[in-house]
Amino acid sequence: MLSEGLKKLKSILRSPALLLALGFAGWFEALFTIEWSFPYCSRQVDGPASAVFGMPLPYIRYSEVSSLEYFYMPSVFIINILILFLIASPLVAWIVKKVASPEQVRRRRVMSVAGIVLVISIIAWNAFLVQSGFYKVAVVTIGDTPYGTYTQFRPIRFSFKNLHYDCTPSEFWFKEQKTK
């Protein structure tokens, strides 16, 4: 049984592109985001609307309960990582092939260890966000409110992940509504 586990570990270490692509996808998602708008942002009649973030799909929303607390959708977070991984995989595999051919076992192992470090660090970072209360409440959807639904979210800005509280109105997506 132990030998089977070691064989699996060796096979994982033989595929540095997989580990690096997963680590890069996780860190890319952690550092960058897309801000999303929805119709209520452009016409706020009952009070302020909370900001929505996530890349490539929205999964984080300011809770409006307390500062530095956000609702998040773990299922969409995992889907986002999977999508980014699928996008990054061909490029990372090509780079790994150019930098370390299959005959360069030592270089490939170093790249595998770097991939493992990236993956473990992004897991630790997200665990910290959940444990510290920054991602306060795991929810099924962030768009089931009286002010809008998940399908109404539209992308408005790609940026560093600087989560803020109030949503940004979009005249591009919601022209028929006037900004307050």
- What is the number of structural domains in the chain? 1
In a domain, 150, yes or no: yes
Question: pLDDT value at position 45?
Answer: 73
CA Rg value for the chain: 20
Task: Give pLDDT, residue 12.
Answer: 61
Do the domain assignments include residue 179? Answer: no
| pLDDT one digit per residue (tens) for the chain, 180 residues | 666 766 666 666 668 899 999 999 999 999 999 999 888 887 777 767 888 999 999 999 887 776 678 888 999 999 999 999 999 999 999 999 999 887 888 888 899 999 999 999 999 999 998 888 888 778 888 887 776 788 888 999 998 988 777 888 888 787 765 544
Owning domain of residue 76: 14-159
Give the pLDDT of residue 180: 46
Q: Is residue 173 part of a domain?
A: no
pTM of this prediction? 0.83
The backbone torsions φ and ψ at residue 136, rounded to the nearest 5 degrees and listed phi first, read -75, -50
Residue 167 in domain: no
Q: Is 178 part of a structural domain of the chain?
A: no
Query: pLDDT for 11-62, tens place per residue?
Result: 666 688 999 999 999 999 999 999 998 888 877 777 678 889 999 999 998 8
**pLDDT the model gives residue 28:** 95
Going by their DSSP bridges, the two strands 135-138 and 70-72 should be labelled as: parallel
Does residue 8 form part of some domain? no
Nearest to 167 by CA among 59, 57, 50: 50
In a domain, 170, yes or no: no
Tell me, what's the pLDDT at 75? 93
pLDDT at residue 169, rounded to an integer: 82
> Does 137 reside within a domain?
yes
CA distance 155 to 78: 19
Concatenated DSSP letters of 70-131: EEE-HHHHHHHHHHHHHHHHHHHHHHHHHHS-TT-HHHHHHHHHHHHHHHHHHHHHHHHHHH
Residue type, 91: L
